[in-house]
C-alpha cells in the first residue's frame, strides 16, 4: 500500500496538485483574513515613505503623448508589513493608479491612492500639487513646474500580465521579453491588465480627513478622473481646505 501511494504523492507535487498541506494553508489564510478584517484591528493613520507596495492592475493602461488625469483601478497584490511586523495594508485592498506628466513629453505610472476598509490613504495636498501640477492659481501651469513633478511612488520592479509572465525593465521603461509592448514610463505608457507593479513610496500616505476621507474625483463616460483633486470644488465653497498632515 505504501509503495502505491508514493507515486500519487509525487504526481501531486510534480503537477502542482493540492497536497495534504493545502487545506492547512487555506485554513491559515482564512484565520489571517478574519483577524485583519476584524473591526477591532487598528490600521495606522500613516504609511511611511520608503514602503514598498505591490499593485495588480485591473485594466490595460495605454496612454500616449499626454496624461488626461484618468484613474485606473487596481488592487494590492500582497500584504504590506511595517518594520515592526505590523500589517499596514492587507492584500486585496483597493488601489488607484494614474499616468502622470513628469516632463515636457515624459509620462510615468504613479500610485494615486489606497483604500483599506473604508480608510482612504493619499499624500498631503502640498506633495500632490507638486506631483500632479495642480493648485497653481489662475495662471494654471507656471514655471514652478517646468521639468515635471516628483512621483509619489517610484516603480522599482514589475511582472507583466496578460499571460506573458515576463519581468518588466521598470527602471528602463521597456518590457523585457514582452515584444517591446510594455512601457512604464517615457513618451508612452502601456501596461497589460493583471500586471504587478512594485512601488516605493517617495511620500508618506495619510488617511484622508473630513471631505477628503472620500473620493473627490468625478466620472465621465464611464471613466473616473481626478482633476485638481484637492482644489476642484473649493471655489464653490463645497470643500474645506485640506487638513495639515499629521506629525511624524
pLDDT digits (tens, 9 = 90+) for 147-163: 344 678 888 887 877 55
For residue 197, the model assigns a pLDDT of 93
For residue 246, the model assigns a pLDDT of 46
Non-local (6+) Cβ contacts of 58 within 8 A are 72, 73, 74, 75, 193, 194
What fold is seen in the domain 46-208+217-236?
Answer: Lipocalin (2.40.128)
Q: Which parts of the chain register pLDDT below 70?
A: 1-40, 135-150, 162-182, 233-248
- pLDDT per residue as tens digits for the range 169-198: 444 344 443 444 568 888 889 999 999 999
For residue 38, the model assigns a pLDDT of 56
For residue 163, the model assigns a pLDDT of 52
Burial zone of 60 (CB within 10 Å; 0-12 exposed, 13-18 middle, 19+ buried): middle
In the chain, where the domains are located: 46-208+217-236
For residue 139, the model assigns a pLDDT of 41
Asked if 206 and 45 touch (Cβ cutoff 8 Å), the reply is yes
Amino acid at each position: 500500500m505504501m509503495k502505491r501511494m508514493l507515486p500519487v504523492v509525487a504526481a501531486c507535487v510534480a503537477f502542482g496538485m493540492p497536497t495534504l498541506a493545502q487545506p492547512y494553508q487555506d485554513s491559515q489564510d482564512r484565520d489571517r483574513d478574519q483577524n485583519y478584517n476584524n473591526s477591532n484591528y487598528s490600521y495606522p493613520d500613516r504609511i511611511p515613505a520608503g514602503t514598498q507596495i505591490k499593485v495588480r492592475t485591473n485594466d490595460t493602461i495605454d496612454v500616449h503623448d499626454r496624461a488626461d488625469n484618468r484613474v485606473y483601478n487596481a488592487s494590492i497584490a500582497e500584504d504590506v508589513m511595517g518594520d515592526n511586523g505590523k500589517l499596514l495594508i492587507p492584500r486585496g485592498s483597493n488601489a488607484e493608479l494614474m499616468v502622470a506628466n513628469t516632463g515636457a513629453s515624459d509620462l510615468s505610472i504613479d500610485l494615486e491612492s489606497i483604500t483599506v476598509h473604508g480608510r482612504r490613504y493619499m499624500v498631503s495636498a502640498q506633495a500632490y500639487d507638486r506631483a500632479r501640477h495642480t493648485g497653481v492659481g489662475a495662471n494654471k501651469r507656471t514655471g514652478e513646474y517646468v521639468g515635471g513633478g516628483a512621483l509619489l511612488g517610484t516603480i522599482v520592479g514589475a511582472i507583466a500580465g496578460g499571460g506573458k509572465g515576463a519581468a518588466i525593465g521598470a527602471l528602463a521603461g521597456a518590457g523585457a521579453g514582452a515584444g517591446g509592448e510594455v512601457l512604464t514610463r517615457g513618451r508612452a505608457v502601456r501596461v497589460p491588465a493583471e500586471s504587478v507593479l512594485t512601488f516605493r513610496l517617495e511620500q508618506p500616505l495619510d488617511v484622508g480627513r473630513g471631505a477628503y476621507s472620500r473620493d473627490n474625483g468625478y466620472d465621465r463616460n464611464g471613466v473616473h478622473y481626478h482633476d485638481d483633486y484637492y482644489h476642484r470644488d473649493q471655489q464653490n465653497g463645497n470643500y474645506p481646505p485640506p487638513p495639515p498632515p499629521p506629525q511624524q
